[in-house]
Amino acid sequence: MTRPLRIQYPGAYYHVTCRGNEKKLIFADAQDQKTFLEKLSLSLEIYNVSLLSYVCMPNHFHLLATTPDGNLSEFMRHFNISYTSFFNHRHSRVGHLYQGRYKSFLIDSDNYLLRVSRYIHLNPIRVKSHIEKSIDDKIDILLKYKASSLSGYFSVEKRKDFVNYSTVLDHMGGDNRRGRQEYRKFIELGIEQDTENPLESVKVLGIVGDADFVQSIKEKFLSMEVSEREQPALRKLRKIFEPDELIDNFMSLISKSRGDVCQRGKRSVERSMLMELLYRFCRITQPEIGRLLGGIDYSSVSQGRKRLQVRLKHEPQLKKRFNKLSDQLIQMSRGKI
């Protein structure tokens, strides 16, 4: 059976899901879920992907996301590999964690975004043990379910900084008190009416949308006259910089020479930041980064990036500096500096 085409383009919206291999658990406990979300947050940042909704179930997960750079495959590959590596190491196992590749559905954001978001958030009550429970009990279960983005839609205090709540709430009148109340009513209505899965009608093409949207996607991306190789939007991830250009701009911003920062055996924070920026903005591999920075081996690049990520998490001033450098580099790429 032919694999469905991964339709990728800047600004596309997707429902993404992965299920455990042989339907086995992918989360053994709360620590697994915590690390899953940490790695998800980092992958979102690296690949400039915006997450709108998520839920973690014992043996699968659901995401609703949009990709400004048209790079869903790259994002999911990085994220799934990073979590699988963690899970296998922690639980002393080897092999595939997930059942095949991730599944993705292209979403018509104008007409189906709300319904897909609700479908994701209602997953915790769609298990056999909760089917016969009252509406009030089901609402209570959803409110107490921690491994979901739903609580942040109801209460600003419970939000995660890696979730974009505004895009969905804009369909309910805005990210304000009224919009949050309307979204809650929308969720409660879905429970009362036991709404259907909005993905059920897309078994073949993998597109969730009205007839005009589906036809538009067919014409743009599924035409037999245009091969996938001839569609850069389907295959090529946009680069912000060429590597040497980024290095030169980075050195200019920190007022240091390339030799000072890239000196072999030196473990400066500037070198670690440069590694991370090359990985994010130039979309090159870690071995390639090592060659650019004076012949550093792959493991040194990997360890340098990991150390930086830990420091960024625990050192607010360093994170502020790193984000400022990132913003300045983007401005330089647009000719504004």
167, HSE (Cβ side, Cα atoms, 13 Å): 17
pLDDT of res. 241: 78
Separation CA 13–CA 208 (nearest Å): 10
Mean pLDDT of 84-103: 93
Residue with the bigger pLDDT between 205 and 294: it is 294
Nearest to residue 106, comparing CAs of 71, 76, 66, 75?
A: 66
Separation CA 335–CA 245 (nearest Å): 13
pLDDT of 228 over the 60 cut: no
Q: How confident is the model at residue 300 (pLDDT cuts 50, 70, 90)?
A: confident
Q: How confident is the model at residue 93 (pLDDT cuts 50, 70, 90)?
A: very high
pLDDT of res. 2: 45
pLDDT of res. 17: 96
pLDDT of res. 282: 84
Mean pLDDT of 92-96: 92
pLDDT of res. 67: 95
pTM of the model: 0.78
pLDDT of res. 264: 62
pLDDT of res. 255: 93
pLDDT of res. 64: 98
For the chain, what percent of residues have pLDDT higher than 70? 90
pLDDT of res. 169: 95
Separation CA 141–CA 144 (nearest Å): 5
Which tokens belong to 30? 């709360």
pLDDT of 267 over the 90 cut: no
Average pLDDT in the chain: 87
pLDDT of 159 over the 70 cut: yes
pLDDT of 9 over the 90 cut: no
Mean pLDDT of 241-265: 87
pLDDT of res. 213: 86
Separation CA 64–CA 81 (nearest Å): 19
b/e per residue, 23-38, with b = 16+ CB within 10 A? eeebbeeeebbebbbb
pLDDT of 259 over the 60 cut: yes
> What sign results for the dihedral spanned by CA atoms 46, 51, 55, 60?
negative
pLDDT of res. 3: 54
Separation CA 59–CA 81 (nearest Å): 17
Residue with the bigger pLDDT between 321 and 281: it is 321
Residue with the bigger pLDDT between 224 and 290: it is 290
Q: How confident is the model at residue 285 (pLDDT cuts 50, 70, 90)?
A: confident
Q: Between vectors from CA 9 to CA 1 and to CA 59, what angle results, nearest 5°?
A: 55
pLDDT of 237 over the 50 cut: no
pLDDT of 151 over the 90 cut: yes
Domains of the chain: 12-221 (3.30.70.1290), 243-333 (1.10.1750.10)
Three-state DSSP class for residue 104 = strand
Residue with the bigger pLDDT between 258 and 160: it is 160
pLDDT of res. 281: 84
pLDDT of res. 203: 56
